[in-house]
Amino acid sequence: MKKLFFAFIMLGLAAYLSSENLPVKGKRTGDEIFLRWAVTDVGLWRKAQQQGFLVERFSMETILWNGKIRNDFVRDKFWIVKPHSIDDTAAWFMSENDDAVMLTAQTLLQGVDMGDDTLSYIMAMIACDRSFTAACMAGFGLKDTLSLEKQKYLYRISSRSTGIFGEWEVTESKTIHAAKPLQTAISNKSVTLSFSTAELNKNFSAYYFERATKRGNFERLHTVPFTVFGSDTAQTIFYYDTVQEYGIIYSYRVTGQDIFGAAAVVSQQAQIKCTPPVPSVIDTFTHIEVRKDTLPPYPVYITACTQDSNGIVLLTWKKSMSEDVEGYRIFRAYGSFKNTDNSPETHLRFGQITPQSVSDTFFRDTISKKNHRKTFYFIKVTDSVGNESKRSNILFAQNPLPNFPSPAFVISCEQAGKNKVLLKWTNSFDSDTRGHKIFMRKDSGQWTLATDIPLVRSAQNQSDSVFITLKEDGVYYFDVRAYTENAEISAPFFARYVLQPVAFKPSFDAVPVRDKFCIVLQWKQSEITDVKKIYIYRRTVGSSRSGSNSTVSSRIETDNFTLIKTLSETDISQGEYRDENIKIGNTCQYKIQYEFEDGTLSEYSKNISVEY
């Protein structure tokens, strides 16, 4: 199966791999130009990530050449197009609903084990072909605006340093398709839609079903598009809808989306009107002995309850054995993943979701794709005089998609003491989030779990931080990933934060407090987590140093600075030191040095001058 999958992908990219030059596609919409291109092999793809592409625009102008006047293309603009910076997390986050953009970012960062460069290249090209936004982010797409609509333009895209190029001349846009029939089938309030994408797949890469009432605008019925691989081979897509009211005219249509992100209506409009079922005709007799029917019909047995990735639940059951069945009423309740006992009716609240009884032995329900609770159902049968059966057995449907929480966002990563960094992030805003896992790696090594931070409920939608100890110098990468109580973890946000530990240099502030006749030195609390001593040095600039005679003889001098105080751990915890041995009119310079718990010393801080 795996071999067939790779073979299928390779066939889909045959157009790319068989071309010697860059395959370029373009589209003109008014004064806007959309350009898309692709690379032809793995080596060129690797170079494109480093060097980018040169995009040149040529306009037709009248020039004088060898004494003759002629029209020719002259370059008037150019761009250097490279993959968008993977460090710009805000830009990638703006496209988080575009799974093709996320796949592109993941490939560029090589955050997933893709096997080799060839497979990475294939996945990147598929993602770029599905989304124009993904192509632009990956450095294979460009949007331009023309200033002169009637002028002829030519674009040339070339791979820098390789000599490989492709060209596209601006042409007027043409109608590329005709609206195709949209097939509908109605059963009570259930509507089945089917649409053939034959002859459309060369121009469109995604399709959406849309619905509107007579009084409203069209809205998409699903957020995940139907995508069809191939060229013009016959393909049919289906959608199952359930309307809310009888007697309302509903309109349906299908829109297609091309590789430039532009949408167009590709189907004819279909209108339907659901009507309630016609009651059966009962023969009348002249003499009838009327007896009240108090016997409820036989209950039914639910045979299947399944949910697909678009949120459609299909419920099927066996027909009741009673002869006077009027219809079936569907009841629904939601439960968490912990509802695993055999009697869910004891703690779930069921409600009827069918305003009127249905006559079929199947029912389609639409559930939000974001719902990851179990959805429970049971059925009751009603007869023609209103008697109601006992409930059926209870089955549940469950979202097949993993309950991945929304990502967390790294805010900053800064050095906070010897061999320590302070990592800050904004918590995942998903209500199912139970904590965040901190991953790190050194240089090109493997990702490892550094720590696990459970989420405090009061910290929902807030930021958090943690200190991480590094064992040795080097370049480090950090990533914060949210997880749920079911151990489902968010995808990496492709944020890369690099720290190069160096010899640590303390930082502090020195402020004159004239009403207290002193100068106050303050240091950062985040830097002193493993500091056992602080050495404070001072020198007086531009005045007599006679005042230094009052200091003890054991003071140490270094670069004309004098050690005036050694602070112990108790003094350090106060966060400041007051220097009261000063004179009015003097300018004092200070610097400090840390001694860590392992006996090593930091570098000297920078000098700070204070005029008193």
What was the pLDDT predicted at 345?
54
Sequence-distant (≥ 6) Cβ neighbours of residue 415 within 8 angstroms: 421, 422, 499, 501, 504
Structure tokens of 299? 């209950």
Across 229-241, b (16+ Cβ under 10 Å) vs e yields eeeeeebebebbb
35 half-sphere exposure, CB direction, 13 A CA radius: 29
Tell me the one-letter amino acid at 157. I
- Measured CA to CA, the distance from residue 110 to residue 96 in angstroms comes to 18
- Measured CA to CA, the distance from residue 118 to residue 44 in angstroms comes to 11
CA-based radius of gyration for the chain: 36
* pLDDT exceeds 80 at position 493: no
Beta bridge partners of 397: 375
List phi, psi (to 5°) of 552. Answer: -70, 155
Mean pLDDT for 509-513 is 91
CATH domain 508-611 topology: Immunoglobulin-like (2.60.40)
Sequence-distant (≥ 6) Cβ neighbours of residue 496 within 8 angstroms: 86, 87, 109, 477
Domain 409-499 architecture: Sandwich (2.60)
176-201 pLDDT per residue, tens? 677 889 999 888 888 999 998 888 87
Q: Are 587 and 608 in contact (CB under 8 A)?
A: no
Tell me the one-letter amino acid at 476. Y
* pLDDT exceeds 80 at position 278: no
> Between residues 535 and 369, which one has the greater pLDDT?
535
What was the pLDDT predicted at 498?
64
List phi, psi (to 5°) of 558. Answer: -145, 120
Q: What superfamily would CATH give domain 302-397?
A: Immunoglobulins (2.60.40.10)
Per-residue pLDDT band for 377 (boundaries 50, 70, 90) equals: very high
The DSSP symbol for 254 reads E
What was the pLDDT predicted at 299?
92
286-296 pLDDT per residue, tens? 555 556 677 88
The DSSP symbol for 545 reads -
Sequence-distant (≥ 6) Cβ neighbours of residue 486 within 8 angstroms: 337, 403
Structure tokens of 440? 């790190």
79-125 pLDDT per residue, tens? 989 888 777 766 666 665 566 676 677 666 654 444 456 666 776 77
Give the lowest-confidence range in 87-91, 169-173, 224-228, 336-340: 336-340
Tell me the three state secondary structure of residue 549: helix
Return the axis-axis angle of helices 2-12 and 117-130, rounded to nearest 10°. Answer: 60
Sequence-distant (≥ 6) Cβ neighbours of residue 313 within 8 angstroms: 305, 306, 307, 364, 365, 366, 367, 375, 377, 397
414-443 pLDDT per residue, tens? 877 777 888 888 888 777 788 889 988 887
Measured CA distances, 549 to 11, 552, 554, 564 (Å): 88, 8, 12, 12
Measured CA distances, 415 to 60, 222, 265, 471 (Å): 56, 46, 55, 14
Q: Are 369 and 278 in contact (CB under 8 A)?
A: no
What was the pLDDT predicted at 308?
87
What was the pLDDT predicted at 478?
85
Sequence-distant (≥ 6) Cβ neighbours of residue 274 within 8 angstroms: 186, 188, 189, 191, 243, 245, 246, 247, 248, 250
pLDDT above 90 covers a percentage of the chain that reads 17
* pLDDT exceeds 80 at position 325: yes
> Between residues 125 and 19, which one has the greater pLDDT?
125
| Residue 20: count of CB within 10 angstroms of its CB | 7
The DSSP symbol for 447 reads -
390-422 pLDDT per residue, tens? 999 999 998 887 777 777 777 778 877 777 888
Q: Three-state secondary structure along 188-210?
A: CCEEEEEEECCCCCCCCCEEEEE
What was the pLDDT predicted at 41?
74
231-262 pLDDT per residue, tens? 455 578 889 898 888 888 889 999 988 878 77
* pLDDT exceeds 80 at position 545: no
N residues, the chain: 612
Query: What CATH number does domain 183-273 carry, 3.40.50.300, 3.40.190.290, 2.60.40.10, 3.20.10.10?
Result: 2.60.40.10
What was the pLDDT predicted at 10?
42
pLDDT above 70 covers a percentage of the chain that reads 77
What was the pLDDT predicted at 286?
55
| Average pLDDT in the chain | 78
Render 324-348 in DSSP notation, one character per residue. Answer: SEEEEEEEEEEE-TT--SS-GGGT-
Sequence-distant (≥ 6) Cβ neighbours of residue 391 within 8 angstroms: 299, 331, 345, 378, 379, 380
Mean pLDDT for 511-520 is 89
- Residue limits of CATH 2.60.40.10 in the chain: 183-273, 302-397, 409-499, 508-611
